[in-house]
Structure 1
Amino acid sequence: MGSTTTQRPLPENGVLDLFRLDGRTALVTGASSGLGAGFALALAEAGAQVVLTARRADRLRETAERIEALGGECLVVATDVTDPEQCEEAVAAAVARFGKLDILINNAGVSSAVPALRERPEDFRQVLDVNLMGAYWMAQSCARVMGPGSSIVNVASVLGLIKSVLPQAAYAASKAGLIGLTRDLSQQWAGRRGIRVNAVAPGFVATEMIAEMPSETLDEFLRATSPLARTGTQRELDAAVVFLAAPASSYITGTTLAVDGGMSGH
Structure 2
Amino acid sequence: MPSLTGSVALVTGASSGIGAASAVALAAEGARVVLVARREDRLRDVASAITAAGGSALIAPADVADPGQVSAAVRRAAEELGRLDIVVNNAGLMRMGPALQASLDDWNALLAVNIQGVLNVTHAALPHLVDAATDSPRGVADLVTVSSTAGWVARPGTAVYSMTKFGANAFSEGLRQEVLGKRVRVGVVGPGTVDTEIGDSLPPDARAALERNTAGMEKLRSEDVADAITYMVTRPRRVAINHMLVRAAEQTW
Q: Note if 1:218 corresponds to 2:214.
A: yes
What secondary structure sits across from 1:190 in the alignment? helix
State the partner residue of 2:102: 119
- The alpha-carbon distance between structure 1 residues 132 and 217, as it changes in their structure 2 partners (threshold 3 A), is same
Shift of 1:210: 3.7
Give yes or no for the alignment of 1:242 onto 2:230: yes
Extract unaligned runs of 5+ from structure 1: 1-16, 223-229
More divergent stretch after superposition (231-240 vs 179-188) = 231-240
* Counterpart for residue 155 of structure 1: 146
The Cα shift of 1:250 comes to 4.2
Alignment partner, residue 137 of structure 2: none
Instruction: Give the distance between the partners of 2:252 and 2:186, measured in 1 at CA.
Output: 22
Mapped pair 1:143 → 2:126: yes
- Cα offset, 1:162, TM superposition: 1.6
| Pairing partner for 1:251 from 228, 239, 242 | 239
Deviations 1:105-134 (A, max 9, x none): 000011111210122222211101101111
Counterpart Cα distance in 1 of 2:145 and 2:252:
20
Q: What is the Cα deviation at residue 249 of structure 1?
A: 6.5
* 1:197 has 2:186 as partner: yes
- For residue 74 of structure 2, the aligned residue among 91, 94, 99 is 91
Q: Distance in 2 between matches of 1:49 and 1:137?
A: 22
**Alignment partner, residue 164 of structure 2:** 174
Asked whether 1:231 is paired with 2:219, we answer: yes
C-alpha distance in structure 1 between counterparts of 2:126 and 2:197, whole Å: 30
TM-score calculated relative to the size of structure 2: 0.87
State the partner residue of 1:209. Answer: 198
In the superposition, the TM-score normalised over structure 1's length comes to 0.83
Asked if 1 retains the 8 angstrom alpha-carbon contact of 2:149 and 2:190, the reply is: yes
Deviant stretches of 4+, over 6 Å: 262-266
Aligned residue identity for 1:178: A
Deviates more, 1:242-251 or 1:144-153: 242-251
Aligned residue pairs: how many?
A: 238
Is the contact between residue 243 and residue 249 of structure 1 (CA under 8 Å) also seen in structure 2? no
- Which amino acid is the alignment partner of residue 76 of structure 1? I
CA distance in 2 between partners of 1:219 and 1:152 (Å): 34
**What secondary structure sits across from 2:214 in the alignment?**
helix
Q: Structure 1 residues 250 and 55, CA, compared in 2 at 3 Å: closer, same or farther?
A: farther
SS in 1 for 2:215: helix
Q: Which runs of 5+ in 2 are unaligned?
A: 134-139
Q: Percent identity?
A: 34
Whether the aligned pair in 2 keeps the contact of 1:154 and 1:199 (CA below 8 Å) is yes
Match of 1:12 in 2: none
Query: Is 1:187 aligned with 2:177?
Result: yes
Measure how far apart 1:30 and its partner are: 0.4
Distance 2:114 2:173 in 1: 16
CA distance in 1, matches of 2:177, 2:88: 18
